[in-house]
Amino acid sequence: MKLSAHEFTSESVSEGHPDKVADQVSDAIVDLFLAKDPTAKVAVETLTTTNKIVLAGEVRTNNGAVVTEEEMNEAARAVVKRIGYEQDGFHWKNLSIDNLVHGQSAEIAQGVEAGQGLFKEEGAGDQGIMFGYATNETPELMPATLVYSHQILQKLAALRHSGERPQLEPDAKSQVTLQYEGSKPVGVNAIVVSHQHGKDVSQDELREIIRPVVADVLPEGWFPPEDKFYVNPTGSFYIGGPDGDAGLTGRKIIVDTYGGAAPHGGGAFSGKDPSKVDRSAAYATRYLAKNVVAAGLAERCTIQVSYAIGVSQPLSIYVDTHGTGKADEVRIAKTIRELFDLSPKGIRTHLQLNRPIYGPSAAYGHFGRQPGDNGAFSWEKTDLTSELARLAN
């Protein structure tokens, strides 16, 4: 169905948000294991609070590689240092780490490893549904509300890291409300930025630090009226980060994906190796939806897949082009099955996911990013467009 005029909002949180600190620590440990064993199994959760990190989960290497508790702890500490936490209540050097990570139970592998499941190939590690989405409203083929929310915080973080704006501290949130005509954004209705700051920074000073960053991110002429430009609307935001609010892995799944513009299957990404379809199949469906839109087959596309534990191929593939399709949705779904092996192993092989590439994905979104030379964000490539367009038509 075509969209009518409406407004829509998405939010983002910075790398210093307590939940994002937890996500980044969990993914640093994933990368640590994958660097030593590309087939390692990792499921690690992180809790952050006042000068404390707690690690818990299950891990296994298959090539005899050893990752020590000390290596995991140092990886966690390095994340906090990189983010820039040197506060009394949360300091990379002074915080304590409780490491409760242990070896993976052999029972977890039963029915999942190749040769043990219902089919004699690697099955999905759990049942579940995963969604991918793309829209042509931005060059990134992502919702504009989320793109702008991420970019505002990324630019503010860059100013903080460079030393140009020492008034800024790591914890921050943003929220962007846009006016849409149909599926196209035409203006800004409201901007919210809440940013942790130094003790002596006034509300007016912070507002003028943030103003040019927001103006730089938004299209020319889109800056909202002053009464719709909210900076720290509750006042002072001096105590923040894990000292102000505990953080947990996996609590920002809408920030991580599409800002609420598309469904979410419910599974978080960070802390999981790519054999977990919560992560890898969500990446695959984004890859496929993005290629559908990039191929000109639709202006917007949502793809859902479903899995059963121990079963290799997805039980279903659903394609919705939201009334914007230039090809039949059933035909697109059939083409996807022909072009892309959506088994757990097929996804990892096609997107080359068994690499230590996940740290950068744990802040500012897993989607809409630039593919890296090291293989990071391989799911953002649009290398299926020609074949998709040919077969779907």
Q: Which residues are catalytic?
A: 17, 19-20, 45, 58, 173, 237, 245-246, 251-252, 272, 276, 278
Give the whole-angstrom CA distance, residue 52 versus residue 96: 5
387 is in an annotated binding site: no
Instruction: State the amino acid at position 354 in one-letter form.
Output: N
104 is in an annotated binding site: yes
154 is in an annotated binding site: no
245 is in an annotated binding site: yes
2 is in an annotated binding site: no
273 is in an annotated binding site: no
251 is in an annotated binding site: yes
173 is in an annotated binding site: yes
36 is in an annotated binding site: no
- State the Cα angle at 38 between 22 and 369, rounded to 5°: 55
User: Tokens 């890296």 sit at which residue?
Assistant: 372
How buried is residue 207: exposed, middle or buried, by Cβ count under 10 Å (0-12/13-18/19+)? Answer: middle
155 is in an annotated binding site: no
Q: What are phi and psi of 316, to 5 degrees?
A: -155, 155
3-state secondary structure of 356: coil
Instruction: State the amino acid at position 116 in one-letter form.
Output: Q
Q: What are phi and psi of 14, to 5 degrees?
A: -80, 170
Question: Where are the extended beta strands (E) located within the chain?
Answer: 6-13, 41-49, 52-60, 86-87, 90-91, 96-103, 128-135, 168-181, 184-197, 229-231, 247-248, 300-307, 316-320
Q: Residues annotated in the binding site, as ranges? A: 17, 19, 45, 58, 104, 171-173, 245, 251-252, 268, 272, 276
User: Which residues does the annotation place in the binding site for Mg(2+)?
Assistant: 19
Binding site for K(+), by residue number, is 45
* Binding-site residues from annotation for ATP: 17, 171-173, 245, 251-252, 268, 272
Binding site feature residues for L-methionine? 58, 104, 245, 276
